Amino acid sequence: MEVLLYSLRKVIAGIPLVLGVTLISFLLIVYFGPDKTYELVGKNPTAEQIAEVRSQLGYDQPFVTRYVRYLQEIVTLDFGNSESTDEKVSSILARTIPVSLLLAMPGFILGNGLGVALALVAAYFRGGFIDKLIMGSAAVGMSVSFLIAIIAFQILLSSSDGLNLFPVRGWDTSTPLAYIQHVTVPTLATVFVALGYNTRFYRAVIVEEMTRDHVRTARAFGVPPARIFYRNILKNSMVPIVTRVVFSIPLIIISGSLLLESYFGIPGIGKVTYDAIVTGDQPVLKAVVALTAILFVVAQLLTDICYRLVDPRVSLR
């Protein structure tokens, strides 16, 4: 009950954020966005034809009216049909989001899991050779552009100049093997690029927890390192770790894989977004923006609830 009430309050508190995101996207995509009039009118249009099209598009309406209509579309989740393919926007989302999740999940899990693991090792050997080695490699990884990593892994693993193990591009999830074949190179590139940042962040968090007073207390009472590690360090590090993980979820659902999908020609939500950007497909862009904003509010809610689970000092009020 406490959680339910809290969630309700949080959702209400998230309304300004959603309004803000929709307002900005409305301003940029619709209000100052490309004028579609001349794409729709025929050749040598008359003034009446132009006016008619403009009124169909709602361009003659005042700002507030147009924005309210945009909001209505978001609230009812009715974005209409894509301007380029005429497919229903909701069915586009339903088709492409699972693809993006399948593409992004392995890299996301490995990137964070390995990041935490390496950070623990580095923090344990703090100041020593292994720490320097891990953090040095992290610095190198952080300096490599995502695009460069993608191309390099593609050359090494998928081209005839390299090992030629995996398909160059495309997407196929019909069998587990096909899935693994297609997901490996994008995953490796993602992990390579994310690992440096993750390791650095998690190491900072863990080192901070390692130097807390209660860790010293536990040591002074003869608690063995493995138990201190679990009860004092890991448990207390969970709040920042959970925050980072949960807050990256909206991004991996929406835009995290945009580059991967457009590079490898994978039909996920990122590719759809990219195509919508290129063609100015407003219904799709609107839907994506709205979806992201909503996901962010949900992510915020989730992190707060996770805080409550992890840290008894946090109260859901």
Partner 1 sequence: MTAAALPVERHGDSLWRRALRKFRRDRVGMLALLVVGSYAVIAAGVMLGWWATGWAEISGPKWAPVSAEHWLGTNIIGQDIFSRAIYSTRTAFEVGLVVAIGATLVGAVLGALAGFYSATWVDEIVIWLMGVLDSVPFILLVAAIAYSLQDSPWSMHIAMIVTFWIGTARLVRGEVIKLKGLEFVESAHAIGLNRLSIIFRHILPNTFHILLVQATISFVAAIKSEVILSFLGLGVKDGMSWGLMISESTFEVLAGYFNNFIAASVLMFGLVMAFNMFSDALQDALDPRTVKSP
Partner 2 sequence: MTQPLLEVANLTVEFATDAGVIRAVDDVSFTVTAGETLALVGESGCGKTVTGLALMGLVPSPPGRVVSGSVRLQGKELTRLDEQALRDIRGSRMAMIFQEPMTALNPVFRIGSQMTDVIRRHQGLTRRQARQAAVEMLAKVGIPVPEKRIDEYPHQLSGGMRQRVMIAMALSCGPQLLIADEPTTALDVTTQAQVLELMTELQREFGMAMILITHDLGVVAQTCSQAIVMYSGRMVEQAPVQELFARARHPYTAGLLASIPRIRERQLQQLPVIEGMVPDPLHLPEGCRFAERCAKAKDYCLLAQPELKPIGKTASQVACYAPN
Q: Are 167 and 206 in contact (CB under 8 A)?
A: no
Choose which of 127, 160, 226, 317 interacts with partner 2 (CB under 8 A): 127
112 binds partner 2 (CB under 8 A): no
Choose which of 144, 178, 223, 298 interacts with partner 1 (CB under 8 A): 144
Smallest gap from residue 168 Cβ to partner 1 (A): 7
Partner touching 29 among partner 1, partner 2, none, CB below 5 to 8 Å by kind: partner 1
Q: Which is nearer to partner 2, 69 or 235 (CB)?
A: 235
The residues, ordered by sequence, that sit 6+ positions from 7 with a Cβ below 8 Å of its Cβ are: 301, 305
Partner touching 219 among partner 1, partner 2, none, CB below 5 to 8 Å by kind: partner 2
Q: Are 238 and 303 in contact (CB under 8 A)?
A: no
Smallest gap from residue 292 Cβ to partner 2 (A): 32
Choose which of 6, 146, 179, 307 interacts with partner 1 (CB under 8 A): 146
Q: How far apart are CA 117 and CA 225, in angstroms?
A: 16
Query: Which of the residues 6 through 45 are near partner 1 (CB under 8 A)?
Result: 16-17, 20-21, 23-25, 27-29, 32-34
* Amino acid at the residue 200: R
Q: What stretches of the chain show up as alpha helix (H) in DSSP?
A: 2-13, 15-25, 37-40, 47-57, 63-75, 89-124, 129-142, 146-153, 176-210, 213-220, 225-228, 235-254, 258-264, 269-279, 282-310
Partner touching 317 among partner 1, partner 2, none, CB below 5 to 8 Å by kind: none
The residues, ordered by sequence, that sit 6+ positions from 137 with a Cβ below 8 Å of its Cβ are: 196
Q: Which is nearer to partner 1, 44 or 143 (CB)?
A: 143
Q: Are 305 and 246 in contact (CB under 8 A)?
A: no
Instruction: Give the interface with partner 2 as residue ranges (CB under 8 A).
Output: 126-127, 211-214, 216-225, 227, 231-232, 235-236, 310-313
